[in-house]
């Protein structure tokens, strides 16, 4: 679709100006550029198509955002060189969303569009396509599964009516969450609108795909995941963009899916770190979906067994309503949960405080095997970085100045903050007054072999990085799984053992307690109810807040507590925080150039990976946009100066060290 000779070109008669986002990852070029549409490309140069243009003497890719009658540019405009394809892959609403996401994360529009629009697959585009006939109307689904939650049926009715209901859902133990999400999607489709659902990984996507097929019937939805391969992913993307399907489910690749008449955005287990995009500008799927809900006046569903502090903030600010079960229903569905570190257990088993598998856990596993029931053993995956905790009470050691995590840079050196870099030579534990520090334990390596010797004749299976099991039989057996890789057992597990809790609780991470509870709840939810003999044993002190939340199955209480503490200490999501990482001179140069908003607090520097360092900037949430804008402008100034050393900007990073 190239044009004619340049000397013969003339502008199109109507709306001859094309506003183009050029695919150039430079912050100071983050704006549309105007080009003339040649007459020979008038018919195909529509909003949303891919184009090629001359930029700084080179032929570069771009997206045609819109056409206009005139340009604000006073100089001479260049012509579009080529329309790559007449397929309008960039929907106007996705372009607006991409701009909002770029602004929120101090990034550029081109970076976000590379995430939003998958690479072109010419063969798939050329496949025969006939406009899909309107599907038969879908009846609203039965709300039987949602009746366990008092607000559940009303939420489904709001979806059917097209109202922008926003819910934070806490799932019951043993809940068939794919079926509940599929019912919410079916209610939305019955109301004549579309839906986007994002899950953490491919295993969750397979379960949701099956549930959507059962609830909607064939041909009404597609799955979108980066791991599906270029052709399959692009085919699913085009099906949504052309309006052939009303529902898209996928991993974080689906957060920008161009669904027509969007009525619902939903995310499963928003605390999972797989929802965080590792490419610039590093958006989180939850924030992208909530932005979509706001822009499209659509409903939103944030759900899972656990609840993140960000989800709790939605509830406390009134943006969303919580959907939870009453206590009677919860008690009937919850397995019997016991810690090994409380006083009664210590009285019976004095070694429980230090044993990796105390007698209570052995007894639970033995009883389940004797009852011909499977046993799940969750062990933290290898590779966690040990942090520093009090040697007496094991409370995580925090910096007295900024409350960041302390670390021991050397065997004989004083503890140093990972955030602000200050030395805490006179550290005293605020919980017990102790002054001795210790490194947290790490995960086990031979758990499966140890259990195999302890339970001869009982099959032992492992599920983890090398091989992730989806399901296991319901008979006697031992399953050793890393967090997130727990298979579903037929009829539920008779016992669930949560080992090496300190490897999770004392991680050098702001979200250590929240993450530990999230992973424990996900495993404990696979156990049978207490009435059916289901037991959960957590090898931890029962007085700890995450353990208390597990014992009561009260993720909302822990999330509210966590959010209150973060407000007091000035941690996200109570504040907005940005991470600036790079060579020391480059970081200092960018921060010196940035006009940070009033009240901004700069923490650091602290060592990062390699020879780089990191600075943190935090501001009140009301100044979040000003912070992102200031950092983006400063990055643009450095890019215009052609600064050699790159600097990575992350707003609200999942990990801040």
Q: 41-82: per-residue pLDDT in tens?
A: 999 999 999 999 999 899 999 999 999 999 988 889 999 999
**Does the pLDDT value for residue 251 go beyond 80?**
yes
Average pLDDT, rounded, for the chain? 90
pLDDT at position 348: 52
State how far Cα 639 lies from the chain centre. 30
Q: Tell me the C-alpha distance between 573 and 179, whole Å.
A: 30
pLDDT at position 354: 41
Stronger pLDDT, 132 or 105, i.e. the higher one: 105
Q: Is the omega angle on the peptide bond into residue 95 within 30 degrees of 0, that is, cis? A: no
Q: DSSP secondary structure string, 125-157?
A: HTS---PPPPPPP-PPPP-GGGGGSTTHHHHHH
Tracing tokens 């019997």 back to the chain, one arrives at 336
Mean pLDDT of 504-532: 92
185 Ramachandran zone, left/alpha/beta (phi>0; psi -120 to 50)? alpha
Q: Tell me the C-alpha distance between 319 and 408, whole Å.
A: 42
pLDDT at position 409: 65
pLDDT in tens, 256-312: 999 999 999 999 999 999 999 999 999 999 999 999 999 999 999 999 999 999 999
Question: Going by DSSP bridges, is the β-strand pair 374-378/495-498 parallel, antiparallel, or unpaired?
Answer: parallel
State how far Cα 174 lies from the chain centre. 23
**Does the pLDDT value for residue 349 go beyond 70?**
no
Q: Tell me the C-alpha distance between 108 and 614, whole Å.
A: 21
**Does the pLDDT value for residue 314 go beyond 50?**
yes
269 Ramachandran zone, left/alpha/beta (phi>0; psi -120 to 50)? left
For 376, the 3-state DSSP assignment is: strand
pLDDT in tens, 385-395: 445 778 777 67
Cα–Cα distances in Å, from 182 out to 80, 163, 193, 244, 484?
44, 18, 14, 19, 21
pLDDT in tens, 598-611: 999 999 898 888 78
pLDDT at position 358: 77
Q: Tell me the C-alpha distance between 312 and 425, whole Å.
A: 36
pTM: 0.88
Mean pLDDT of 307-319: 98
Q: Tell me the C-alpha distance between 562 and 308, whole Å.
A: 9
pLDDT at position 321: 98
pLDDT at position 342: 53
Mean pLDDT of 318-325: 98
**Does the pLDDT value for residue 399 go beyond 60?**
yes
Q: Is there a contact between 334 and 327 (Cβ–Cβ < 8 Å)?
A: no
pLDDT in tens, 429-448: 888 888 888 754 433 345 77
- CA dihedral in degrees (460, 463, 465, 467; nearest 10)? 90
Please give the helix or strand (H or E) that residue 175 lies within, else none.
none
Please give the helix or strand (H or E) that residue 546 lies within, else none.
helix 545-552
pLDDT at position 384: 36
* pLDDT band at residue 359 under the 50/70/90 scheme: confident
Burial 264-273 (b: 16+ CB within 10 A, else e): bbbbbbbbbe
pLDDT at position 274: 95
**Does the pLDDT value for residue 323 go beyond 60?**
yes
Q: Tell me the C-alpha distance between 494 and 520, whole Å.
A: 16
Q: Tell me the C-alpha distance between 259 and 407, whole Å.
A: 47
* pLDDT band at residue 351 under the 50/70/90 scheme: very low
């Amino acid at each position: 679709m190239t044009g004619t000779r340049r000397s013969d070109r003339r502008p199109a008669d109507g709306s001859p100006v094309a506003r183009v986002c050029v695919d150039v990852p430079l912050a100071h070029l983050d704006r549309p550029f105007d080009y003339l549409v040649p007459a020979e490309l008038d018919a195909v140069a529509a909003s949303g198509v891919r184009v090629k243009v001359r930029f700084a003497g080179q032929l570069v890719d771009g997206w045609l955002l819109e056409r206009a009658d005139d340009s604000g540019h006073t100089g001479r405009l260049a012509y579009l060189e080529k329309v790559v394809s007449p397929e309008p892959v960039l929907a106007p609403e996705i372009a607006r969303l991409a701009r909002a996401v770029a602004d929120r994360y101090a990034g550029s529009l081109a970076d976000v569009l590379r995430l939003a629009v998958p690479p072109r697959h010419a063969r798939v585009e050329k496949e025969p396509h006939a406009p899909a006939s309107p599907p038969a109307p879908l009846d609203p689904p039965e709300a039987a599964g949602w009746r366990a939650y008092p607000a559940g049926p009303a939420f489904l009715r709001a979806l059917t009516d097209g109202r922008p209901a926003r819910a934070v859902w806490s799932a019951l133990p043993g809940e068939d969450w794919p079926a509940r999400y599929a019912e919410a999607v079916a209610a939305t489709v019955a109301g004549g609108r579309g839906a986007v659902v994002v899950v953490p990984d491919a295993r969750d996507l397979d379960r949701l795909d099956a549930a959507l097929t059962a609830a909607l019937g064939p041909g009404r939805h597609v799955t979108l995941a980066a791991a599906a391969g270029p052709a399959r992913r692009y085919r699913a993307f085009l099906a949504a963009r052309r309006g052939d399907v009303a529902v898209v489910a996928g991993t974080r690749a689906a957060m920008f899916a161009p669904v027509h008449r969007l009525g619902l955005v939903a995310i499963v287990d928003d605390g999972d770190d797989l929802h965080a995009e590792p490419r610039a500008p590093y958006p989180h799927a939850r924030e992208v979906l909530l932005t979509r809900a706001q822009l499209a006046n659509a409903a939103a569903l944030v759900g899972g067994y656990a609840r993140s502090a960000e989800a709790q903030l939605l509830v406390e600010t009134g943006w969303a309503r919580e959907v939870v079960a009453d206590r009677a229903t919860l008690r009937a569905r919850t397995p019997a949960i016991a810690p090994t570190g409380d006083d009664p257990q210590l009285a019976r088993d004095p070694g429980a405080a230090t044993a990796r598998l105390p007698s209570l856990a052995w007894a639970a596993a033995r009883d389940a095997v004797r009852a011909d029931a499977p046993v799940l053993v969750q062990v933290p995956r290898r590779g966690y970085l040990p942090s520093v905790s009090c040697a007496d009470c094991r409370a995580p050691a925090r910096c007295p100045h900024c409350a960041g995590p302390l670390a021991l840079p050397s065997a004989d050196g004083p503890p140093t903050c990972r955030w602000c870099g200050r030395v805490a030579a006179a550290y005293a534990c605020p919980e017990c007054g102790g002054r001795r520090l210790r490194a947290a334990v790490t995960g086990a390596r031979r758990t499966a072999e140890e259990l195999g010797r302890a339970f001869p004749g009982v099959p032992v299976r492992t599920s983890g990085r090398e091989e992730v099991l989806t399901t296991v039989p319901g008979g006697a057996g031992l399953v050793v799984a890393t967090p997130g890789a727990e298979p579903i057992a037929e009829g539920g597990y008779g016992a669930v053992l949560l080992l090496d809790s300190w490897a999770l609780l004392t991680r050098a991470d702001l979200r250590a307690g929240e993450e530990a509870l999230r992973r424990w709840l996900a495993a404990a939810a696979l156990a049978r109810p207490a009435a059916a003999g289901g037991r959960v044993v957590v090898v931890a002190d029962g007085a700890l807040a995450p353990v208390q939340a597990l014992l009561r199955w009260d993720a909302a209480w822990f999330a509210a507590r966590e959010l209150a503490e973060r407000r007091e200490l000035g941690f996200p999501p109570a504040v907005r925080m940005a991470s600036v990482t790079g060579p020391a001179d480059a970081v200092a140069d960018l921060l010196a150039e940035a006009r940070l908003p009033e009240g901004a607090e700069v923490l650091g520097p602290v060592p990062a990976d390699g020879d780089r360092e990191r600075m943190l900037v935090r501001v009140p949430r009301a100044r979040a946009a000003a912070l992102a804008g200031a950092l983006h402008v400063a990055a643009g100034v450095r890019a215009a100066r052609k600064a050699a050393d790159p600097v990575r900007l992350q707003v609200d990073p999942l990990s801040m060290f």
